[in-house]
Amino acid sequence: MRTVKVRDYSLALFLVLTGLDWTARAGDAATALPQAPPQGPLKQLSLEQLGNLEVTTASKSPEQVWKTAAAIFVITQEDIKRSGATSIPEALRLAPGVEVARVDGNTWSIGIRGFGSNLTRDVLVLIDGRSVYSTLLAGTYWDVQDTVIEDIDRIEVIRGPGGTVWGPNAVNGVIDIITKKSQDTQGTLVTLGGGDEEQGFLSARYGGGNSKGLTYRVYGKGFNRGPEFHPNGQDYDRWRSIQGGFRTDWNKNARDTFTLQGDIYDEGAGESANLVSYTPPYSQQLDQTAPLSGGNLLGRWTRVFSEGQDIQLQAYYDRTNRHSPNFGDLRNTFDVDYLQRFRIGDRNQFSFGLGARASQGHEIEIASGLFFSPGTRTDQLYSAFVQDNIALVPNRVTLEIGTKLLHTNYTGVQAEPSARFMWTPTETETIWAAFTRAVRTPSDGERDFFLSGYIGPDPATGLQRFARFNGNPNFKSEVLNGYELGFRHLLGKSFYVDLAGFFNQYHDLFSEDLTGGFGMETTPPPSEIPPSTHLLLPAEFGNGLMGTTTGGEFAPEWKPTSFWALKGSYSFLHMVLKKEPGSQDVGTGPIIAGSSPQHQVLAQSQFDLPRHFTLDLSYRYVSALPAQTVRAYSTGSVRLGWNPTRHLELSVVGSNLLQPYHFEYPSTAINRSFYGKLEWRSKEN
Amino acid sequence: MLLAFIFAVFSGPRHALDAQQSKPEEYQVKAVYLFNFGKFIEWPQATPKDNLFGVCVLGHDPFGATLDATINGEIIEGKKLVARRIAGIQDAANCRILFISMSEANHVKQILASVERTGVLTVSDMPDFTSSGGMIQFILRENKVRFEVNLSAAEKAGLTFSSQLLKVATTVKRDEQKGVEGQ
């Protein structure tokens, strides 16, 4: 089906190629066909010249997104670069349905379709297939997930349970950060810059290889970041980091590919932590820089037999050393995964996978108010999935059914079935619907965790009063039944629209339950300090909440001319949480529901200007968080880039420009800030 | 956002005097490659019936008018180039170059089997095309359009590739087992 495009081609088409003596020439502007760009200049090029031309690709309909029956959004490297984001959490702001609230200089509260938190529980986060979700507190430590931002190929964000292929913890979404293959990061890349908050940063990467299919890259990077604005004068949230790593890819032959990659890091992230103990001073606020270090190593082998028939084997090791002011976690994680795809007949594409993970953690107790018992535990996870993708009507209607099975050291076997249906009535439209059941398995943070809070002295007895969440050996999985619907439409070649809606039913959600009244406790739980007598209000983390989230995301993209692109999104969320019958929850339901914004708007305008300048503007609106007394805010950022040569790019970025500072989360406000950056590549841009 | 709109109005159509760095689109370059393949490949004598050199697109057409703009008026081996869109392999009789769209990925093997010895050059940008027996597969490397060649498939169809073409391919495969890295 051919569409006639009427474009204004009074622009001359110029091609500038470096490395070759090619002078810019005007295309046949006057005689150009109104329906298509003049191909005259391109046809004059030799094969080598054609292969050196950088091209723009069709907007947001890569096959992987088009054919996926899920609410998937791909944040491309180009989007990340043009947004001026210097960290992965900041880049996540570009995806619809994701709430990103910056808590302080090194902490973000992130959630997908609600439930935002510092640890982003209920979301599976992966970097190149390695799960970075920690089983200690069932979440992701965003302050240690970093890489050379320019070598990120894309970030795939799936809102919703995402289906059977994804690993454990994929309840509200999946975030997959994919770095470029080493064949695509050859040569030298140096970036450096600084500003007021982004005080200084430097990264260097070198990529090489031989002509037998082996390529590699090595990198080093570091940064120093200043604190955000605290009305009470604190400035603990400084952040410094140094990190290095490598990646090698070997395409042995047409069938086999091997990858080996690893990173190692050492950071200091400032935290303000509350330290509670049963001896004086009972409660103190510690502003300290937390040393965080670690490393990982991942290996992967892929063998392709033919289209739709392949196998993949992957194994990784991850080490995390976290020394927060109020507790420490030293953790080793080993993981092995196997995945196979095969076809049966013409219409059935099967996939299945097996995975095993062991995560051994040793918790360091700093004060008696926070500890894990047992202090050392190995969490085991076994997972399997099987899925059939059935072409009911070839190229038009597909049905994907499958299930994931999970078994952890805390739970028996749990099934997470999923059914996804997709209809492509024309080449430019697609409609999909899905049902998924997903579970978030218990973590050490509910079963083994003892967390105390200091209330104050009791006037009657003079004893100190505390409340304590005691580990709940009966904490079970949180459950989601998710119903989703989506629509994608490509209008002509320049307008693309993506719409998704969801209705999620939750039960057995994490709740904070009182388990009794005040009682006297004489001996504190196992620790080194001498015993004391105090009053204790016992509580535990239970499964006492249930509720629903309803909403949708609308993300259009429009490229009116070859040098101007407009992108944006509107996300809507309506959350209702309440106590399950018989629950002793203290009333956290409305607080969780009131901690997510109901509306979010993002609008971006990307211009390619003459004389090798680029100008990118973005505007963002987030509605209020009533339970956190954070008002609605809107802010904007600007990036101006200049390529004086094909190897060099200079840029200036201004962020959070609309006010001197604004609150996204209580107590710390985000400053207006600027930074400048220089990027040099030995291979042309 | 008002600032953005004002800017857009005034940065409207730019004129020939400005050396504007404008990138061609992916399918503009692929269309020119198809034209070039016609120039750098020799077809066996016994093809086709009429005096036209057909460049056909099977399945969803990602080129649009760009393909016609590229080949209209051109002549190769004394035959006029024409662009055709076909819905099924049965209409491929007069095609010399057959571009198979990604929309046909689910049954690419059947398509390749039907045209196997008919002297048609098969080209696509779907993943694993050359592993499935296709002759030329477009790939994107660092946002540049390059291509891989399955020489065994081409030789089976009786096609001869000029060494100039093989030199610039990123990979030239034979027998689906060994690959020789090109540029």
How far is the alpha carbon of B116 from chain A, nearest alpha carbon, in Å? 17
Residue B183 above 50 pLDDT?
no
Q: What is the pLDDT of residues A120-139, one digit of tens each?
A: 988 999 999 899 988 888 89
| Structural domains in chain B (count) | 1
Residues of A in contact with B165 (CB under 8 A): 47
Please tell me whether residue A447 adopts helix, strand or coil conformation. Answer: helix
Which pLDDT does position B181 carry in this prediction?
A: 44
What single DSSP character describes residue A282? S
Confidence of residue A296 (pLDDT cuts 50, 70, 90): very high
**Alpha helices, DSSP H only, in A547-603?**
588-593
Cα separation of A499 and A71, whole Å? 8
Rounded Cα distance between B137 and A672, Å, is 48
Q: Which of A5, A10, A610 sits opposite B20 (nearest CB)?
A: A610
CB B92 within 8 A of CB B135: no
CA distance A164 to A386: 7
Residue B17 lies in a domain: no
- Helix/strand/coil percentages in chain A, nearest 5: 5, 60, 35
Test mutation, A42, A65, A217, chain B, max B CBs within 10 A? A42
Both structure tokens of A663: 């609150």
Q: Is there a contact between B56 and B31 (Cβ–Cβ < 8 Å)?
A: no
Is 90 exceeded by the pLDDT of residue A544? Answer: yes
pLDDT score, position A529: 60
Asked whether the beta carbons of A243 and A263 are under 8 A apart, the reply is yes
Q: Is the pLDDT of residue A62 over 60?
A: no
Higher-confidence position of A395 and A578: A578
For the question of whether the overall pTM of this predicted structure is more than 0.90, the answer is no
pLDDT tens digits along A435-474: 999 999 998 889 888 999 999 898 888 888 999 999 999 9
Peptide bond into A374 cis (omega under 30): yes
Distance between first and last Cα of chain A: 36
- A402: pLDDT confidence band, cut at 50, 70 and 90? very high
The whole-angstrom separation of Cα A347 and Cα A434 is 20
All residues of chain A having their beta carbon less than 8 Å from the beta carbon of residue B26 are 55-58
Distance between CA atoms of residues B130 and B136, nearest Å: 7
CB neighbours of residue A3 within 10 Å: 12
Under an 8 A CB cutoff, do A51 and B168 touch? yes
Which B residues, 124 through 143, put their C-beta within 8 Å of a C-beta on chain A? 127-128, 130-132, 140-143
Coil, strand or helix at A646 = coil
Nearest to A557 by CA among A549, A565, A548: A565
How many Å is the maximal CA-CA distance in chain B?
64
Structure letter (DSSP) for residue A104: E
Which chain B residues are Cβ-neighbours of A346 within 8 angstroms?
Answer: 106-107
A20-54: buried (b, 16+ CB within 10 Å) or exposed (e) per residue?
eeeeeeebeeeebbebbbbbebbbebebebbbbbb
Determine whether the interchain pair B26/A427 forms a contact, defined as Cβ–Cβ distance below 8 Å. no
B36 touching A (Cβ < 8 Å): yes
What is the C-alpha to C-alpha distance for residues A398 and A390, in angstroms, rounded to an integer? 5
Number of inter-chain CB pairs under 8 A, A vs B: 188
Q: Check B23 against A55: CB less than 8 A apart.
A: yes
- Cα separation, B132 vs B153, whole angstroms: 10
Structure tokens at B178: 């060994």
C-alpha torsion A39→B85→A431→A115, nearest 10: -30
DSSP A180: P
Inform me whether the pLDDT recorded for A596 exceeds 90.
yes
Could you write out the DSSP letters of every residue in chain B?
-HHHHHHHHHT-S--TTS----PPBHHHHHHHHHHHHHHHEE--SS--SSSEEEEEEESS-SSTHHHHHHHTT-EETTEEEEEEEESSGGGGGGEEEEEEPGGGGGGHHHHHHHTTTTTPEEEE-STTTTTTT-SEEEEEETTEEEEEEEHHHHHHTT-EE-HHHHHH-SEEEETTTEEEE--
Beta bridge partners of A209: A215
Q: Tell me which H or E stretch contains A65.
A: helix A63-66
> What residues does A430 pair with on adjacent strands?
A488
Return residues 47-76 of B near A (CB < 8 Å): 60-62, 64-66, 68-70
Cβ-defined contact of B109 to A307 (cutoff 8 Å): yes
Check: CB of residue A123 under 8 Å from CB of residue A109. no
Q: Which residue has tokens 């997930």?
A: A145
B83 within a domain of the structure (yes/no): yes
Contact A55 B26 (CB under 8 A): yes
What would the mean pLDDT of A307-322 be, rounded to a whole number?
91
CATH code where residue B113 lies? 3.40.50.2300
User: In the CATH scheme, what is the homologous superfamily, with its name and number, of domain A63-681?
Assistant: TonB-dependent receptor, beta-barrel domain (2.40.170.20)
Segment of A253-257, A561-565, A571-575, A664-668 carrying the highest mean pLDDT = A571-575
Sort out which chain A residues have CB atoms less than 8 A from B4's CB and list them. 605, 617
The pLDDT of residue A560 is: 85
In this model, does residue A681 exceed pLDDT 70?
yes
A71-76 vs A413-426, strand pairing mode: unpaired
- The pairs formed by A301-304 with CB atoms below 8 angstroms and a separation of 24 or more are A301/A256, A301/A257, A301/A258, A301/A259, A302/A256, A302/A257, A302/A259, A303/A255, A303/A256, A303/A257, A304/A254, A304/A255, A304/A257, A304/B128, A304/B131
- Taking every pair of C-alpha atoms in chain A, what is the biggest distance, in angstroms? 95
Domain residue extents for chain A: 1-55, 63-681
Decide if B151 is inside a domain.
Answer: yes
Q: Which of B1, B107, B177 sits opposite A253 (nearest CB)?
A: B177
Q: How does pLDDT run across A223-243, given as a tens digit for each residue?
A: 999 999 998 888 899 999 999
Residues 88-107 of B with CB under 8 A from A: 102-107
The yes-or-no verdict on residue B150 having pLDDT over 60 is yes
The rounded distance, in Å, linking the Cα atoms of A485 and A72 is 12
Domain that holds residue B172: 25-181
User: In this structure, are strands A413-426 and A376-393 parallel, antiparallel, or unpaired?
Assistant: unpaired
Q: From A40, which residue of chain B is nearest by alpha-carbon distance?
A: B70
Distance (Å, whole) CA B27 – CA A280: 72
